[in-house]
Amino acid sequence: MARFPKDHIEQNTESRKQAHFLSQDPEQAMQEMMESIDTLRAVYQEETEALITVNTQAFLDLQTQKLEAARTYQQGIEEILERREEMQNVNPLTKKRLAEMQKNFSTLSEQNMEALKRMQRTMDRLSQTIRKAAKDAAHKQRAFSYGENGTLQSDNGKIVSTGISETA
C-alpha cells in the first residue's frame, strides 16, 4: 500500500496550527475538511494494515501521524459544527461528497477499531500465557521447609500467586 506523504500531513497540520481555523470561505472550508478526512483515512488504512500483518514497528511509527491527523480532523469537525449556518450555503454536491466521505471514513474507523480489539485480545492471551508459564515454573521448583516438629516438609501443596507490574 502506498504510504500517505508525511510532509503533506505535517504541512497540512502546520498550516492549521498557524491559522487555528478552516478557511473563511465555506466552500473552501468544506474542501479542507475533506482533505483532513482523506489524511486521517490514509493513516487509519496504514494502521489497520500494520495490525493485520502484525507489523508492530509500522504500527508504532504511525501513532504520531495518527494523533496529528486526528487533532486536525477533530478541530475541523468542531469548526464545521460551529459554523453550521454558514455551511448551509455550500454547494449541495460538496455537502453530499463530504457526507459520503464521512460515511466511508466511519466504516474504516470500525474496521480499524476491530483490528485494535483483535490486537488487544492477542496481547491479553500472550500475557496470560506468560503468567501461566511463570506459575508453572514456580510449581516445578520444589520448595522445602521445616515443619512444627523439625521435620523436612514439601511445599508442593502451597498456592503460588503471580502478578505483573506494568510500570515502565
Q: What is the pTM (predicted TM-score) of this model?
A: 0.64
Q: What's the pLDDT score for residue 137?
A: 78
pLDDT of 43: 95
In the chain, the number of structural domains is 1
Structural domain contains residue 100: yes
pLDDT at 149: 75
Q: 149 lies in a domain?
A: no
45 within a domain of the structure (yes/no): yes
Separation between Cα atoms, residue 90 and residue 83, nearest integer Å: 11
pLDDT at 1 (0 to 100): 43
Spatial separation of the C-alpha atoms in residues 40 and 4, rounded to whole Å: 10
Residue 79 is assigned to a structural domain of this protein: yes
Q: Which pLDDT score is estimated for 20?
A: 46
pLDDT value for 32: 93
Flag whether 158 is in a domain.
no
Q: What is the pLDDT of residue 2?
A: 43
d(CA 93, CA 99): 10
Give the per-residue pLDDT at 16: 43
Give domain status of residue 167, yes or no.
no
Report the alpha-carbon angle 75-68-114, nearest 5. Answer: 95
Any domain includes 85: yes
In a domain, 96, yes or no: yes
Domain that holds residue 80: 6-138
DSSP conformation letters of the chain: -PPPPHHHHHHHHHHHHHH-S--SSHHHHHHHHHHHHHHHHHHHHHHHHHHHTT-HHHHHHHHHHHHHHHHHHHHHHHHHHHTHHHHTTS-HHHHHHHHHHHHHHHHHHHHHHHHHHHHHHHHHHHHHHHHHHHHHHHHHS--EEE-TTS-EEE-TTS----------
pLDDT one digit per residue (tens) for the chain, 168 residues:
444 455 555 555 444 444 447 999 999 999 999 999 999 999 999 999 998 898 989 999 999 999 999 999 999 999 999 999 998 989 999 989 988 998 999 999 999 999 889 989 988 998 899 888 887 777 677 555 666 776 666 655 555 565 666 654
